[in-house]
Amino acid sequence: MFGLRVLGHSLLWIGFLSASVGMVMQRELDLLPVEERTALLQLPADFSIPADLATQVAGKSWTELDSAQFLAILQQALAPTQSAPASETAATVPGTPQPNPATDSVESATEPAAAPKLNKTSLIQQRTKRVASLWPTVNWLVYGPALIVGIVGVVLLRKSAQKSVDVEVARTKGLDPLRQSLTQLIAEVQKLEDQMPAMTPESVVAYIDERCVEHCNSFADQREHLKSAFGLVGFGEVMSEFASGERFLNRVWSAAADGYMEEAYRSVQTSLGFFQAAQRQMDRKP
């Protein structure tokens, strides 16, 4: 039962972790059109674009643009960067007035603050917001088998829990008849030991047949409850003691039938000791 519980927990966690991996194996970026995804991935790391450019050009936000509109605006924004800046060209032409640092500093101080810009990461986040569902990002070849493994783990855990319930039922209800039979048998054998010095061989044989055999058979017929409650090891410990007591009780019967009362008396004492040991084994079990 313990091994079944461990296996169930292992499969459940393996399935959970594998399913988690399967759900993140693909990115939202992978769901964008190929042309748009390629353009975004090819942007330089230091790329930036005015945050309101889409609104100025198309009257829509970056998220609302369709793929064609987005690519057109992106190409327009990249066009100036693909040629040399005019200031750099003017500086290389002879006779062009050089900029005056003092004048430039005054003019720059009066310019309005720069408009907010989106970098490459922010622009990708804006575009991936268009993804309506994230289910397509799941790798079903991984997620499906992982889900099955997790379900198997849950089933095994439920079986383990049911076995625990069965064991508890066996301990609380199934063992009651066994304990009762063994208690009554011990009581009868104790009486036989006490009365044997005054009994005849025939009365000893009749006593065992009439008052002991029934309890022995009742205990033996219900011994499977021991296995359910205590497992194979506990079952073997209890039944070993009981079987030894039953064997010596049979020796009492045989010795009395043959007229050997001293042997019968020694055997009944030994038999009683084994039955009491079986009772102690049952009481020690949880």
Per-residue pLDDT of the chain (286 residues; tens, 9 = 90+): 556 556 655 655 565 555 554 444 445 566 677 888 788 888 888 888 888 888 888 888 888 888 888 888 888 888 765 444 444 434 443 444 455 554 454 444 444 556 688 888 888 888 777 665 555 555 556 656 766 877 776 777 677 665 555 555 555 556 888 999 999 999 999 999 999 999 999 999 999 999 999 999 999 998 888 887 888 888 899 999 999 999 999 999 999 999 999 999 999 999 999 999 999 998 875 5
pLDDT at 18: 58
The reported pTM is: 0.45
**Gap between the Cα atoms of 117 and 131, Å rounded:** 23
Enumerate long-range contacts of 204-212, CB under 8 Å, 24 or more apart.
204/252, 204/253, 204/256, 204/261, 204/264, 205/253, 205/256, 205/257, 208/249, 208/252, 208/253, 208/256, 209/253, 212/185, 212/188, 212/249
Q: Is 65 helix (H, G, I), strand (E, B) or coil?
A: coil
Domains of the chain plus CATH, in order, are 26-92+104-137 (no CATH), 166-284 (1.20.120.660)
Alpha carbon distance 137, 135 (integer Å): 5
Residues 6+ apart with CB under 8 A from 241: 274, 275, 277, 278, 281
Residue matched to tokens 């009554």: 184
What pLDDT does residue 151 have?
Answer: 78
242 and 278 Cβ atoms separated by less than 8 Å: yes
